[in-house]
Amino acid sequence: SQQQTEPDHRSDLVVVANRLPVDRKVAPDGTTTWKPSPGGLVSALEPVMQRNSGAWVGWTGAPGDAPEPFEARGIHLIPVELSKKDVEDFYEGMSNGALWPLYHDVIAQPQFHRHWWESYVRVNRRFAEKTAENSAENALVWVQDYQLQLVPQMLRALRPDLRIAFFNHIPFPPYEIFAQLPWRRQVLDGLLGADQLGFQRPADANNFLRACRRNGLATRRGMVHLPAEPRFGSADHHPSREVRAAAFPISIDSESIDALGRRPDIQERAREIRRELGDPKVVLLGVDRLDYTKGILHRLKAVEELFAEEVLSPPDAVLVQVATPSRDRVEEYEKMKRDVEVTVGRINGDYGQLGHPAVHYLHQSQDREELAALYLAADVMLITALRDGMNLVAKEYVATRHDEQGALVLSEFAGAAIELPQAFLVNPHDIDGVKAAIVRAAGLSPREATRRMRAMRRRVFEFDVARWASTFLKVAASAAAEPPQSSPG
Ligand code: ADQ
């Protein structure tokens, strides 16, 4: 029953993620086509996926019937169907209304609804089944992120031959917070179906290991020991095994982003942006998904106070805030969007002039080229996340600045802070601290800017996303290849 597809369609390396790396294009005549959406994860995995006849299991982003599997850039894409109701309960509900706020330190109140959880279980099973059908014997399966935490265990039950790895892109919270989850044990068991678990920071891996200990499991040196189950000798005996948990900080395709920053047309666009802004002395920049974890309101408060105190004075200093529309059907996001709009409106009312707003607010997605031009045009990049798994914007800003100028104000609660200690690190809750950091960053001497930027660029080029993927896959393959425990306890 596990082998419904032709063996030659089954893949040796299978990535499982909530979203497929494609965007839907609807032609004027109504026909639908799927365009590959280039992201860091796909481009890092592309070469290894092509070598291993790789497959990617995920949702297209459109509710309703899933299209047949198709190829994109040498990767076999296997769509999983989500109904409108699944999108509401599994995705907007359990994933983004419960797990997302819980895992981000309860910045917003998580809601726990049993019908959300039931949908989460059903949809995770659907992903696991699709993956089981499309994986070759002994294939390596790499499950991504908090929407799919039950897939490792479900997949292991269907296909014990597979080697299973999981990477969590968001934080894993301290146990005191995780313990609020009514289904905490099920989530731990789900994850423990993997051979290798990856987290962004060592602290996330440690939080996970501690959660296991609090639930009665033994851990030792980054490994969780799962005793043989049920008793040795019974029919469905599972030998004991080890699950490894460690940090693998994700990164970006540094070279391709650096190349964008070196393109003459993008440099010209950066100069044009500054002209369009009225040739200010200081351009501050924020680029985020419009999400309460990103601390956009804290940032606006700090900037507003600097304007009020005339430490920075528009139109000599302006803030450009680009915020990608995100999850706008989730209540908390709608509320935050309104708060940002009110705050931006107030700041512009108080400190703007005709034709010269103090805050340029774009609630829009921008293409890669325009983002690169904005990064080049910015004197100070502001990242004030209240909690963030990594924050790739920080690394993208650094990779774009081949001129070794510009300054980065970076929240210590973003995973990226560990790798970029030469940034101006701030506690975003400490508004005076954020203000002081902005002032220092805006007044940085070119020499000091270069010293800091050079060190940060070195890090981002050495540890790019290709290195992240290959390191993780190597470790995952070796974790799974370990001989099974010979003498079960
Ligand atoms: P996100 O929360 O989405 O990712 P981030 O890591 O900053 O956060 O990635 C956002 C991406 O979207 C960046 O590549 C950025 O360039 C792009 N982006 C942001 N605003 C944009 C805009 N207006 N237009 C176009 N592009 C825009 C989650 C976790 C992070 C973790 C990543 C990867 O929350 O902590 O770093 O996954 O693991």
User: Which ipTM was obtained for this model?
Assistant: 0.98
Question: With a 6 A CB cut-off, is 396 part of the ligand 1 pocket?
Answer: yes
Distances (CA, A) of 274 to 269, 316, 323: 9, 11, 19
- Under the banding of pLDDT at 50, 70 and 90, the label for residue 482 is low
pLDDT confidence of residue 486: 43
Kindly give the distance from the C-alpha atom of residue 252 to the centroid of ligand 1, in angstroms, as a whole number: 11
Ligand 1: nearest atom to the Cα of 367: 25
How do residues 137-188 score in pLDDT, each as one tens digit? 999 999 999 999 999 999 999 999 999 999 999 999 999 999 999 999 999 9
- Residue 104 Cβ inside 6 Å of ligand 1? The answer reads no
Residue 4 has pLDDT above 70, yes or no: no
From CA 52, how far away is CA 71, in angstroms rounded?
14
To which residue do tokens 């910015």 refer? Answer: 378
Q: Which two tokens stand for residue 326?
A: 């995100």
pLDDT band at 194 (very low <50, low <70, confident <90, very high): very high
Confidence label for 489 from pLDDT (cuts 50, 70 and 90): very low
Which of these is catalytic: 169, 195, 298, 360?
A: 169
> Given CA atoms 86, 171, 480, 139 in this order, what sign does their dihedral have?
positive
Q: What pLDDT digit, counting tens, does each position of 42-74 carry?
A: 878 888 888 888 999 999 999 999 999 998 888
Residues 104-131 have pLDDT tens digits of: 999 999 999 999 999 999 999 999 999 9
pLDDT tens digit sequence for 415-426: 999 999 999 999
Other CB atoms within 10 Å distance of the CB of residue 103: 23
Q: Is the CB of 301 under 6 A from ligand 1?
A: no
User: What value does the mean pLDDT take over residues 181-197?
Assistant: 98
Which letter does DSSP use for residue 292 in this model? G
Residue 85 has pLDDT above 50, yes or no: yes
Q: Reduced to 3 states, what is the DSSP secondary structure of residue 197?
A: strand
Mean pLDDT on 77-92: 97
Contact 59, 80 (CB under 8 A): yes
Cα of 315 from ligand 1 centre, angstroms: 29
Binding site membership of 253 for ligand 1 (Cβ less than 6 Å): no
Q: What percent of the chain has pLDDT over 90?
A: 83
Atom number of ligand 1 nearest to Cα 364: 23
Residue 280: phi, psi to the nearest 5? Answer: -70, 160
Which of 392, 408, 413, 472 to mutate to test ligand 1, by most ligand atoms within 8 A of the CB atom? 392
**Side chain identity at residue 218, one-letter code:** A
Which pLDDT does position 220 carry in this prediction?
Answer: 96
What pLDDT is stored for residue 423 in this prediction?
A: 98
Q: Kindly give the distance from the C-alpha atom of residue 394 to the centroid of ligand 1, in angstroms, as a whole number.
A: 10
The reply to whether omega before 230 is within 30° of 0 (cis) is yes
* Residue of 390, 418, 472 with the most ligand 1 atoms within 8 Å of its CB, for mutation: 390
Q: Which atom of ligand 1 is nearest to the CA of 392?
A: 6
Segment among 4-18, 237-251, 383-397, 450-464 with least mean pLDDT:
4-18
pLDDT-based confidence at residue 135 (cuts at 50, 70, 90): very high
- Give residue 374 CA to ligand 1 midpoint distance, Å: 15
pLDDT band at 215 (very low <50, low <70, confident <90, very high): very high
Q: Is the pLDDT of residue 210 over 70?
A: yes
Say if ligand 1 is within 6 A of residue 388 CB.
yes
| 180 Cβ below 6 A of ligand 1 | no
Percent of the chain with pLDDT over 70: 95
Render pLDDT for 221-279 as a digit per residue (tens, 0 to 9): 999 999 987 766 666 678 899 999 999 999 999 999 999 999 999 999 999 999 999 99
For residue 110, what are its two tokens? Answer: 């998580």
Q: Please tell me the predicted confidence (pLDDT) of residue 24.
A: 81
Mean pLDDT of the chain: 93
Which of 391, 400, 412, 465 to mutate to test ligand 1, by most ligand atoms within 8 A of the CB atom?
391
What distance in angstroms lies between residue 393's CA and the mean position of ligand 1's atoms? 6
Q: Is 388 a catalytic residue?
A: yes
Q: With a cut of 70, say whether residue 17 has pLDDT above it.
A: yes
pLDDT in tens, 332-375: 899 999 999 999 999 999 999 999 999 999 999 999 999 999 99
* Rounded Cα–Cα distance for residues 127 and 396 (Å): 32
Per-residue pLDDT, 50 = 82
For 398, left (φ over 0), alpha (ψ -120 to 50), or beta? alpha
Residue 362 Cα to ligand 1 middle (Å): 16
